[in-house]
Structure 1
Amino acid sequence: MTIHTDHPTTALDRRAPDSGERFPESIPRAAVQRVLDNDRRREVLRCLLAEDGPLEVRTLVARIADAETDATSVTPLLERRQRVHVSLCRTHLPLLEDHRILSYDRVRGLVSPGATLSAFESLLDVGALERPVGARLD
């Protein structure tokens, strides 16, 4: 593996190779890295891990849009939420569903934990599972 010093390290990179933690065989390392390389996808995972069951897409959109809100932003709330909704529904949720990390019911507008979601818990910042309202995403 080539180490690129210009790329930030992630939790996946910082894990000790002999830590005993095993990632599900069904998700290649490159796919895990792709999932964790995006702020919105990480936040989706955090929100699902913090919930006990399914989460409405509109609730997820509101949480992510609020977390991305900048005090100096002039973009109206509705427009921000529309942008987040489009990116989640067209890009992020389908990708996460493809890897069985979540289940996305487009008709009912629900996102449920998938078979491999729990494996990501150790890769995410556990202290950030429940972010305060208005907290910025990294």
Structure 2
Amino acid sequence: MGGYDLIKEGGGILNDRKRYGLALKVALYVEGNFSKKITLKSLSIQFCTNRTTLSSSFRERYKVSVYKYLTKVRMDYARAKLVSNDFIGMDELAESSGYSDRNNFSTAFKRENGVCPISYMKLCNNIVDIK
């Protein structure tokens, strides 16, 4: 079976590589642009594909949805900022983390981390002070 046959049949190795490549490109885009508004629609336009292909390719590769991955990237950034010496304030942190306002950010943060952002910051600072 030649390369043409793989393309003609629409499956096989070539299709898997394209899907893997698409998922990787989406992940890199999310990591570099998490502070912007990102939707499946905007990603599908950005990568010239449909939402279903984008979602299934991403989930197949990373075992989570694009939305969950985006949330993880945003929360990793927020947690790092909360415990750093260059904390920028809650409104600025919400915006730089990709949330429209501090209430949406605080709700998402508590849902993902079990505590509100200020409690997380205080808890981490107490742990650091003990050392």
Give the TM-score of the pair, scaled to structure 2: 0.30
Give the TM-score of the pair, scaled to structure 1: 0.29
Greater relative contact order (Cα < 8 A, sep 6+): 1
Q: Which has the higher strand share?
A: 1
